[in-house]
């Protein structure tokens, strides 16, 4: 098994190098046979990565502790699902997963029906293969997943209990799918530039890939937040940790990219900007990996410190320099075909402002993340840049972003006249202001909350009007019933209405964030058996403290009966778990969820006489946040769905080449 598993890595590396060289040779000598040989290599590479994955799954599932990776991340009593998902708990395994996704994406792109005969294919393959060579090199020489220990330990170290949560099964997978996914539009963009194709084929061809990568990045962040909320016992979901920032930055730039490409498609403009955005997004995925794996910044997410981060930094630098070189060498061609704007007030302009704010937000996150390093380098003083900084800096930028999101649908392409603006905005603006006044009257008086909710009211109205006007216009021509008209309107313009659903999802998330950040309540109390804790409308009766054993873990739990306004809601059991193979205990919180708020109960400590300390929080509108996340998924899937009226990849009309 040892030989077989290692062979999948080293043969994979050899195949990746061979395929890269032979495809490059095929391109330069215009020899289709060489290119085909390289394409065959892609399949072999995928098989190698798949076999390596299966090998590691097998070793983890059968607890073969003679392997360092299995020993470090599993133990024999671990449930089988966590034994398997330990594959991405450590450096080597997670990079293997990354490599597997990369090879999978390569196969899907290169052998897709739509790309048959496309001269961009060899270039795309070569760019993605360069990535694969790097990852196989890392797996072969730096983070080896199949390393044998000198002795055979009886037991493994076990998996960090924090990672034993359903959220952790999905969170890294979705994040990696997002990270790797951004390599696809990057490879297309580079291939287009190398081939001197300055049209928007690469954008249209990768539109769905970009949305899918964006969706996975969103999911990765959402699952990460959800995991933090239920698992860390902290009651929060986003801490602006450097690693969270690392996944948020490419999300922001990819969002900017998804919007700015519409201007290129419509007006043949912003070509340099779009390519720059995709280069930055791709580079940021590598930068994130550098942060996680290098240990240069303190983070709760950091993998064991290693020199791995340095390799990623070097690879990122090389990739960015080469990409910028290609971009600069085509600069004049890209510049030549630039179009023009007709007005300051138009949908195009609002997209540019959107890009400004999204990239500005990404820069602020980047700057805050690296500032400790900058400070140390410049004046030798380390500083911590944490949650208060990011909340203060990001809040106005992202709120402005929400405002642009609210206004944009109402602006016309080309030019919005004053009459048009008045007609479209007067009523929504009045309603938003009335909503804000009502909020103040009802007691919601914190400035951020009032402004934030006011902007969201505006957003909801403008988006409603967008659907309403579409249905009305359709009905005027077709006499369809409203629901049929809405259905047909949406499925015939998936990207637009999928995008609006995503906007609504973001609005719900924002409402959840504003509510939970501004109006949360919490208390920490030590109570004796039979005593109660009161918070807001809730009364928590502390009934019992007991202990149970599950496998090698000891669990201390409290029975709490919860009443709301005197009405019994039920009995709940917050727990503290002591792991047989892990020093740090973890809190299993009890959450009573409703549309209005979550009651969040943490068993913090206890004494021999049965007294226990509880942290109890009321987190408003948490379900709005999760519901918004769900809408984002629905909207993104709706936008990329390939139905009868789905987005069609256009026919390739670019530069012809003798190899494809």
Partner 1 sequence: MKNKIYIGLLLIAFIFQGSILQVEASQINYKSAEFKAVASQFACTCGCGQDHYECDPNTCNLTTEFKKDLVEMMNKGWDKDKIRKYYVNIYGEEILTSPEKSGFSLMAWVLPFVVLGAAAAALFIIIRKWVKKRGAEEEVVTEYENTEDEVEGEILSSMIDEERKKYL
- Exposed e or buried b per residue across 527-550, where buried means at least 16 C-beta atoms within 10 angstroms of its C-beta: beeeeebebeebbbbbeebeeeee
State the nearest-atom distance from the C-beta of 558 to partner 1, in Å: 13
Rule CB under 8 A: which of 374-413 touch partner 1?
Answer: 374-375, 378-379, 381-389, 392-393, 397, 409-413
Rule CB under 8 A: which of 95-154 touch partner 1?
Answer: none
Q: Which is nearer to partner 1, 38 or 372 (CB)?
A: 372
Q: Which of 522, 537, 543, 546 forms a contact with partner 1 (CB under 8 A)?
A: 522
Nearest to residue 372, comparing CAs of 362, 357, 384?
Answer: 384
Q: Which is nearer to partner 1, 341 or 563 (CB)?
A: 341
Q: Which is nearer to partner 1, 33 or 476 (CB)?
A: 476
- Show Cβ contacts of residue 367 under 8 Å, excluding neighbours closer than 6 positions: none
State the nearest-atom distance from the C-beta of 160 to partner 1, in Å: 13
Residue 210 tokens read as 């970009």
Q: Which is nearer to partner 1, 22 or 401 (CB)?
A: 401
Beta partners for residue 250, in sequence order: none
Q: State whether residue 630 is helix, strand or coil.
A: helix
Rule CB under 8 A: which of 524-583 touch partner 1?
Answer: 524
State the nearest-atom distance from the C-beta of 405 to partner 1, in Å: 16
Only one residue has tokens 């360069």, namely 130
* Strands 567-572, 538-550: pairing kind: unpaired
Q: Which is nearer to partner 1, 376 or 658 (CB)?
A: 376
State the nearest-atom distance from the C-beta of 621 to partner 1, in Å: 20
State the nearest-atom distance from the C-beta of 412 to partner 1, in Å: 5
Q: State whether residue 616 is helix, strand or coil.
A: strand
Rule CB under 8 A: which of 299-338 touch partner 1?
Answer: 299-300
State the nearest-atom distance from the C-beta of 474 to partner 1, in Å: 5
427 touches partner 1 by CB under 8 A: no
Q: Which stretch binds partner 1 (CB under 8 A): 22-30, 278-286, 353-361, 549-557?
A: 353-361
State the nearest-atom distance from the C-beta of 284 to partner 1, in Å: 16
Task: Tell me how far apart the alpha carbons of residues 487 and 153 are, in angstroms, rounded to a whole number.
Answer: 61
Q: Which stretch binds partner 1 (CB under 8 A): 211-219, 352-360, 445-453, 509-517?
A: 352-360
Q: Which is nearer to partner 1, 380 or 566 (CB)?
A: 380
Residue 255 tokens read as 């969002």
Q: Which is nearer to partner 1, 113 or 392 (CB)?
A: 392
User: Concatenated DSSP letters for 551-602?
Assistant: TTEEEEEEEEEEEETTEEEEEE--EEEE-TT-SS-EEE-EEEE-SSEEEEEE
Nearest to residue 39, comparing CAs of 101, 136, 135, 128?
Answer: 128
| Angle (CA) 353 358 363, round 5° | 120
Q: Which is nearer to partner 1, 184 or 296 (CB)?
A: 296
Q: Residue 93 in contact with residue 32, Cβ under 8 Å?
A: no
483 touches partner 1 by CB under 8 A: no
State the nearest-atom distance from the C-beta of 469 to partner 1, in Å: 5
State the nearest-atom distance from the C-beta of 83 to partner 1, in Å: 26
State the nearest-atom distance from the C-beta of 185 to partner 1, in Å: 23
Q: Which is nearer to partner 1, 76 or 604 (CB)?
A: 604
State the nearest-atom distance from the C-beta of 236 to partner 1, in Å: 7
Residue 153 tokens read as 């330990």
Q: Which of 220, 233, 498, 620 forms a contact with partner 1 (CB under 8 A)?
A: 233
- Show Cβ contacts of residue 243 under 8 Å, excluding neighbours closer than 6 positions: 288, 291, 292, 299, 300, 301, 302
Beta partners for residue 575, in sequence order: 557, 588
Binding residues for partner 1, total number by CB under 8 A? 78
Task: Tell me how far apart the alpha carbons of residues 539 and 536 are, in angstroms, rounded to a whole number.
Answer: 8
Rule CB under 8 A: which of 147-206 touch partner 1?
Answer: none
State the nearest-atom distance from the C-beta of 423 to partner 1, in Å: 6
266 touches partner 1 by CB under 8 A: no
Task: Tell me how far apart the alpha carbons of residues 652 and 432 are, in angstroms, rounded to a whole number.
Answer: 46
Rule CB under 8 A: which of 584-623 touch partner 1?
Answer: 584-585, 587, 602, 604-605, 613, 615
Q: Which of 110, 175, 184, 489 forms a contact with partner 1 (CB under 8 A)?
A: 489
Q: State whether residue 541 is helix, strand or coil.
A: strand
353 touches partner 1 by CB under 8 A: yes
Q: State whether residue 550 is helix, strand or coil.
A: strand
| Angle (CA) 327 330 336, round 5° | 120
Q: Which is nearer to partner 1, 55 or 299 (CB)?
A: 299
Q: Which is nearer to partner 1, 2 or 413 (CB)?
A: 413
Task: Tell me how far apart the alpha carbons of residues 462 and 441 are, in angstroms, rounded to a whole number.
Answer: 24
In 387-543, where does DSSP find H-type helix? 387-407, 418-442, 447-478, 482-491, 494-518
217 touches partner 1 by CB under 8 A: no
Q: Which is nearer to partner 1, 410 or 504 (CB)?
A: 410
State the nearest-atom distance from the C-beta of 328 to partner 1, in Å: 19
Q: Which of 415, 536, 539, 564 forms a contact with partner 1 (CB under 8 A)?
A: 415
- Show Cβ contacts of residue 430 under 8 Å, excluding neighbours closer than 6 positions: none
Rule CB under 8 A: which of 235-264 touch partner 1?
Answer: 236, 239, 241
Q: Which is nearer to partner 1, 71 or 293 (CB)?
A: 293
| Angle (CA) 150 153 158, round 5° | 120
Q: State whether residue 16 is helix, strand or coil.
A: helix
Nearest to residue 97, comparing CAs of 56, 128, 148, 39?
Answer: 56
Query: What is the chain's alpha carbon radius of gyration, rounded to the nearest angstrom?
Result: 27
Q: Residue 279 in contact with residue 287, Cβ under 8 Å?
A: no
Residue 238 tokens read as 């986003």
Q: Which of 2, 18, 363, 578 forms a contact with partner 1 (CB under 8 A)?
A: 363
Give the contact letters, 443-482, x = binds to partner 1 (CB under 8 A), - = no: -----------------------x--xx-xxx-xxx----
């Amino acid at each position: 098994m040892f030989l077989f598993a290692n062979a999948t890595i080293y043969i994979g590396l050899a195949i990746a190098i061979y395929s890269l060289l032979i495809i490059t040779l095929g391109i330069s000598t215009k020899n289709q046979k060489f290119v085909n040989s390289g394409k065959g290599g892609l399949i072999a590479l995928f098989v190698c990565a798949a076999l390596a994955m299966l090998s590691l799954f097998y070793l983890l599932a059968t607890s073969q502790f003679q392997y360092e990776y299995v020993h470090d991340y599993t133990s024999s009593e671990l449930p089988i699902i966590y034994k398997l998902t330990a594959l991405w708990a450590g450096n080597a395994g997670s990079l293997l997963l990354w490599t597997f996704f990369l090879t999978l994406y390569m196969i899907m792109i290169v052998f897709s029906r739509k790309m048959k005969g496309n001269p961009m294919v060899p270039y795309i393959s070569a760019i993605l293969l360069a990535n694969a060579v790097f990852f196989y090199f890392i797996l072969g020489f730096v983070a080896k997943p199949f390393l044998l220990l000198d002795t055979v330990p009886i037991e493994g170290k076990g998996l960090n209990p924090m990672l034993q949560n359903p959220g952790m099964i999905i969170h890294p997978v979705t994040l990696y799918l997002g990270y790797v996914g951004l390599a696809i539009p990057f490879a297309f963009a580079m291939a287009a530039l190398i081939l001197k194709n300055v049209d928007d084929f690469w954008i249209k061809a990768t539109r769905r890939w970009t949305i899918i990568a964006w969706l996975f990045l969103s999911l990765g962040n959402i699952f990460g937040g959800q995991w933090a909320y239920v698992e860390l016992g902290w009651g929060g979901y986003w801490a602006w940790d450097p690693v969270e920032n690392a996944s948020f930055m490419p999300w922001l730039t990819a969002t900017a990219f998804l919007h700015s490409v519409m201007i290129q498609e419509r007006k043949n403009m912003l070509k340099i900007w779009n390519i720059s955005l995709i280069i930055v997004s791709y580079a940021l995925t590598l930068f994130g990996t550098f942060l996680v794996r290098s240990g240069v910044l303190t983070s709760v997410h950091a993998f064991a410190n290693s020199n791995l981060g340095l390799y990623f930094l070097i690879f990122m630098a090389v990739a960015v320099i080469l990409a910028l070189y290609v971009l600069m060498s085509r600069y004049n061609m890209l510049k030549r075909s630039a179009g023009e704007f007709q007005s300051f007030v138009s949908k195009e302009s609002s997209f540019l402002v959107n890009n400004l704010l999204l990239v500005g937000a990404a820069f602020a996150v980047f700057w805050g993340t690296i500032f400790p390093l900058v400070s140390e380098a410049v004046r030798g003083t380390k500083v911590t840049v944490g949650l208060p900084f990011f909340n203060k800096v990001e809040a106005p930028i992202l709120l402005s972003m929400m405002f642009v999101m609210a206004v944009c649908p109402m602006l016309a392409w080309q030019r919005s006249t004053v009459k048009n603006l008045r007609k479209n905005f007067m009523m929504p603006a009045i309603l938003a202001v009335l909503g804000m006044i009502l909020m103040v009257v009802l007691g919601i008086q914190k400035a951020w909350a009032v402004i934030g909710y006011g902007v969201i009211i505006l957003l909801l109205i403008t988006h409603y009007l967008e659907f309403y006007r579409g249905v009305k216009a359709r009905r005027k021509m077709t006499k369809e019933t409203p629901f049929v008209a809405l259905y047909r309107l949406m499925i015939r313009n998936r990207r637009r209405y999928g995008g609006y659903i995503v906007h609504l999802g973001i609005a719900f998330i924002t409402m959840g964030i504003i509510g939970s950040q501004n109006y949360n309540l919490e208390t920490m109390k030590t109570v004796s058996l039979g005593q109660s804790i009161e918070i807001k409308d809730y009364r928590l009766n502390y009934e019992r403290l007991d202990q149970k054993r599950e496998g090698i873990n000891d669990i201390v739990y409290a029975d709490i009966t919860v009443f709301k306004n005197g009405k019994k809601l039920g009995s709940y059991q917050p727990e503290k778990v002591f792991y047989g193979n892990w020093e740090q205990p973890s809190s299993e919180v009890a959450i009573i969820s409703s549309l209005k708020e979550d009651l969040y109960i943490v068993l913090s400590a206890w004494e021999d006489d049965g007294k226990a300390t509880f942290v109890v929080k009321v987190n408003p509108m948490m379900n709005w946040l999760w519901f918004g996340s769900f809408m984002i998924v629905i909207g993104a899937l709706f936008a990329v769905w390939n139905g009868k009226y789905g987005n069609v990849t256009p026919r390739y009309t670019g530069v012809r080449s003798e190899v494809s």
